[in-house]
Each structure stands twice: as C-alpha cells, then as structure tokens.
C-alpha cells in the first residue's frame, strides 16, 4: 500500500461515525449566509500577479515535524499581516497534526476583517459531511484529490461544494488525473509537484502539466516551493498561484519572504 492509499484508508475509518445523509438544503443555507471578502477563486484570479496561498501545516509524512504546537491563529495573523491572497488550513490530525478547530480559530480571527483572505480546508475529503463541516467553520474552498477518489465520489463532493457556495481545488499529479479533473468541470486545478505515492517532489511536474490546462481555469502549483526562484519557475510555467506550507511554517517571521514573493508579476 502506498502512502496515499494508507492515508485514505485511515480517513474513511476516521470519519465513519460522522457520516450521515447531507440534505442539499443544509448546504444551500450555508451558501446563503453573509460572507465578507473574495471567493477563493477570485482571490487567485489577478492577471499579471502570482497569488499566494499560505498554508498552516505543523507536520507532514514527508518532512516530519515542521512546527509542532504552532498556534493556528498566530500563524494566520502573521500571514494576514503579510498580505497573503488566501490561506490553507490543514485539518487532518493523524498525519499532519491539524484539527478542524484550527479552521474555526483562523476563521474567528478573520471574520471581522473586510479584506480577509479566503480559507481552504485542506484535508482528505471523501464525503459531503466534511464539506458541511468546512462551510460551518468558515472555509470558502475544499480540496479534491483526484487520484484518491472515484469519479462518482468526485462528482458528489464537487456538487456538495457548489451547493454550499464553495470553490473546489482539484489536485492532480499527472495527465490522466488532469483529464479527469477537467471532465468533472474543475475551474481551479492545483498541480501537486509531490508524488503522493512516495512523496518525492519535482517542479518539472508543474512545468509539464500547467501548460495543458485551459486558460479559463485557475492554475495553482503546489509543493516543493521553498525559494523565490521556485515560485518564479512555477509562474513561468503558467501558474496563477502557488501554495506554500513548509517553507513558511519553518520561518519565525515569514513576512519578508511573502513580500518578496508578492513582487512576482
């Protein structure tokens, strides 16, 4: 069993006691709730500007401990003060030391700020109940890992997110997964430079796949971005945005690096 299969098997067991039917009206009511700030997709759609999704991530299977015990709200404050375009909050507990309460805490910090960057719930999504949880906690987007799901599961998650008024970031790593995402109707696609089977990273994956994505789809390069030059390489390959977690979490003060990245255009 490769690492992603291991994680997905665990995730299905983990949420088994939370699974219940999710009525479309439940999701639609969340979509009707007042919201401030841009949608996730709009926040990444600034022509001529490489947008930044800053991630709150304490550990990972590939890197091990990154910033154990780092308060989610404090990291959100640092990211907000640095002017990031969006934030990703990892809520998986077993493999990433996150929790759904981290998303609630970050959302609470941002809720009265008109310029609040939108939040992505980063987790291994398998059932619409997780989307309900994400929307209730203030997320404006969820992650759909194409490789981890069947087409019916992808369609169910995407439909639930749309009903809740949320965007979906479709994550792909190869051409076959990209084709599946496009068939599902994805309008935001993240190319994960990390192979989720063995967790090796190669920015050439973005350079290969990003040019294949239609112009109207928002393109994100994820993983393996540690330096200004890495972000510039992703931009040159066609990325509208980059998602950075480990590099930012390892910095006591990420603002200078974020300011430097935001100068890319």
Which residues, in sequence order, are CB contacts of 243 under 8 Å at separation 6+?
53, 55, 88, 190, 220, 221, 222, 223, 225
CA distance 248 to 245: 6
Q: How many CB atoms lie within 10 A of CB 189?
A: 26
Supply φ then ψ for residue 5, to 5 degrees: -60, -40
Clarify whether 171 is annotated catalytic. yes
Clarify whether 229 is annotated catalytic. no
Clarify whether 195 is annotated catalytic. no
Clarify whether 222 is annotated catalytic. yes
Are 126 and 12 spatial neighbours (Cβ–Cβ below 8 Å)? yes
Supply φ then ψ for residue 42, to 5 degrees: -65, -35
Considering 11, 51, 57, 140, which one is annotated as catalytic? 57
Clarify whether 35 is annotated catalytic. no
Clarify whether 223 is annotated catalytic. yes
CA distance 172 to 54: 19
DSSP character at residue 84: -
Considering 60, 105, 140, 171, which one is annotated as catalytic? 171
**Beta bridge pairs of residue 51:** 241
Considering 11, 51, 60, 122, which one is annotated as catalytic? 122
Considering 105, 133, 207, 222, which one is annotated as catalytic? 222
Considering 88, 193, 195, 223, which one is annotated as catalytic? 223
Considering 97, 168, 192, 221, which one is annotated as catalytic? 192
Q: What is the DSSP string of 35-75?
A: --S--HHHHT--TT--EEEEEE-SEETTTEESSTT--HHHH
| Tokens coding 248 | 């930012």
Considering 11, 55, 97, 105, which one is annotated as catalytic? 55
Clarify whether 55 is annotated catalytic. yes
Q: Which residues are catalytic?
A: 55, 57, 122, 171, 192, 222-223
């Amino acid at each position: 069993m490769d690492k992603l299969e291991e994680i997905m098997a665990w995730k299905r067991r983990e949420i088994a006691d939370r699974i219940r039917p999710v009525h479309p009206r439940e999701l639609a009511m969340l979509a009707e709730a007042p919201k401030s700030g841009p949608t996730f997709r709009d926040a990444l759609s600034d022509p001529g500007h490489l947008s930044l999704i800053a991630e709150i991530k304490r550990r990972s299977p590939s890197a091990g401990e990154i910033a154990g015990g780092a308060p989610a709200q404090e990291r959100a404050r640092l990211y907000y003060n640095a002017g990031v375009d969006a934030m990703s909050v990892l809520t998986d507990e077993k493999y990433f030391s996150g929790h759904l309460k981290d998303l609630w805490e970050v959302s609470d910090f941002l809720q009265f700020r008109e310029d609040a960057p939108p939040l992505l719930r980063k987790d291994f999504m398998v059932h619409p109940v997780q989307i309900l949880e994400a929307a209730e906690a203030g997320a404006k987007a969820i992650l759909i890992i194409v490789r981890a799901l069947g087409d019916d599961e992808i369609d169910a998650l995407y439909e639930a997110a749309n009903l809740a008024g949320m965007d979906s970031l479709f994550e792909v790593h190869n051409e076959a997964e990209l084709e599946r995402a496009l068939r599902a109707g994805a309008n935001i696609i993240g190319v994960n430079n990390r192979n989720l089977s063995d967790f090796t990273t190669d920015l050439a994956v973005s350079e290969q796949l990003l040019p294949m994505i239609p112009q109207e789809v928002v393109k994100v390069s994820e993983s393996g971005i540690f330096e200004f030059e890495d972000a510039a390489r992703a931009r040159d390959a066609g990325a509208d945005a980059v998602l950075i977690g480990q590099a930012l979490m390892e910095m006591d003060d990420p603002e200078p690096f974020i300011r430097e990245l935001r100068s890319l255009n």
